[in-house]
């Protein structure tokens, strides 16, 4: 649900699922079977597992910008639909809701690109996302480099090196149109191609990339879900 261009979908495919996606906007680069329509109206009967990534704009840091637009919070409706699906169609059905830090998810776990060694050149990908599920999920520990001085999503962090500032970027930002390569505040910004490498995604545009999660996240969680499904059937 809310599949976008398929970052989470690709990870679930790699984990072993047959994947179908729903989105209200056409997704020409989506790599699997695609349904155009409101994800909240999707027919979920017959599926064993549902992944939902409702829009995050209502909860992202950009909501505090002076010119920020008002965005709907679709997490409550998404959770209600998934619980209804579990009750009516598949009492053993499992689901995950994904969103940004600060979203009102219930008892979520958090994943970060550093947990999977994601990045480009000498820069880490710090793309924190949280996940709520009706299954018990395991997480990992972040592997942030201790010498990073600034930036979690910043296009290029600055690290402290023996009381001097080394302007080599150490964090990768993937946001906005995620394009262009420039120097800002003494730090190099990463190009779309470099961001693709950092995310483990090679089929999206820069704009699509900014809305995606690395497939490594959903593959990691999807493998856990498959083990639970197999265990419940034995």
Q: Does residue 64 register a pLDDT over 80? A: no
Reported as a single tens digit per residue, the pLDDT across 151-175 is 334 333 334 443 444 444 466 666 6
Reported as a single tens digit per residue, the pLDDT across 114-155 is 999 998 888 888 889 999 999 999 999 998 875 442 233 433
CA–CA gap between residue 28 and residue 130 (Å, rounded):
27
List CB contacts of 148: < 8 A, sequence separation 6 or more: 124, 157, 159, 170, 171
pLDDT band at residue 182 under the 50/70/90 scheme: very low
- 20-to-9, 13, 159, 170, 227 alpha-carbon distances in Å: 8, 10, 42, 36, 20
What pLDDT does 228 receive?
94
Structural domains of the chain sorted by starting position, each given as residue range(s) with its CATH number in brackets: 7-233 (3.40.50)
CA–CA gap between residue 71 and residue 135 (Å, rounded):
29
Identify whether the C-beta of residue 32 lies closer than 8 Å to the C-beta of residue 13. yes
What pLDDT does 100 receive?
94
Q: Does residue 36 register a pLDDT over 90? A: yes
What pLDDT does 69 receive?
61
Residue whose C-alpha is closest to residue 38's, from 78, 67, 84: 78
Residue whose C-alpha is closest to residue 175's, from 159, 188, 192, 158: 192
Average pLDDT over residues 186-200: 81
What pLDDT does 135 receive?
95
Better pLDDT: 56 or 60: 56
Average pLDDT over residues 78-84: 96
CA–CA gap between residue 119 and residue 127 (Å, rounded):
10
- For residue 20 the two structure tokens come to 């179908």
What pLDDT does 174 receive?
67
Q: Does residue 60 register a pLDDT over 90? A: no
pTM: 0.82
């Amino acid at each position: 649900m809310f599949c976008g261009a398929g970052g989470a979908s690709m990870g679930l495919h790699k984990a072993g699922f047959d994947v179908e996606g729903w989105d209200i906007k056409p997704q020409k680069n989506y790599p699997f079977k695609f349904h155009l329509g409101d994800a909240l109206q999707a027919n979920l009967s017959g599926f064993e597992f549902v992944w939902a990534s409702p829009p995050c704009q209502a909860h992202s840091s950009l909501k505090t910008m002076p010119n920020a637009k008002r965005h709907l919070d679709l997490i409550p409706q998404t959770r209600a639909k998934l619980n209804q699906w579990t009750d009516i169609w598949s009492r053993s059905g499992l689901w995950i809701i994904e969103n940004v830090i600060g979203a009102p998810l219930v008892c979520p776990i958090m994943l970060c690109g550093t947990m999977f060694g994601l990045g480009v050149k000498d820069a880490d990908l710090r793309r924190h996302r949280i996940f709520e599920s009706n299954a018990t999920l395991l997480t990992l520990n972040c592997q942030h480099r201790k010498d990073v001085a600034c930036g979690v999503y910043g296009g290029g962090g600055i690290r402290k090196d023996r009381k001097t500032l080394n302007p080599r970027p150490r964090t990768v930002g993937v946001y906005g149109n995620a394009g262009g390569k420039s120097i800002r505040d003494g730090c190099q910004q990463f190009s779309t191609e470099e961001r693709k490498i950092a995310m483990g995604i090679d089929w999206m545009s820069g704009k699509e990339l900014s809305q995606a999660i690395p497939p490594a996240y959903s593959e990691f969680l999807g493998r856990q879900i498959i083990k639970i499904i197999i265990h419940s059937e034995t």
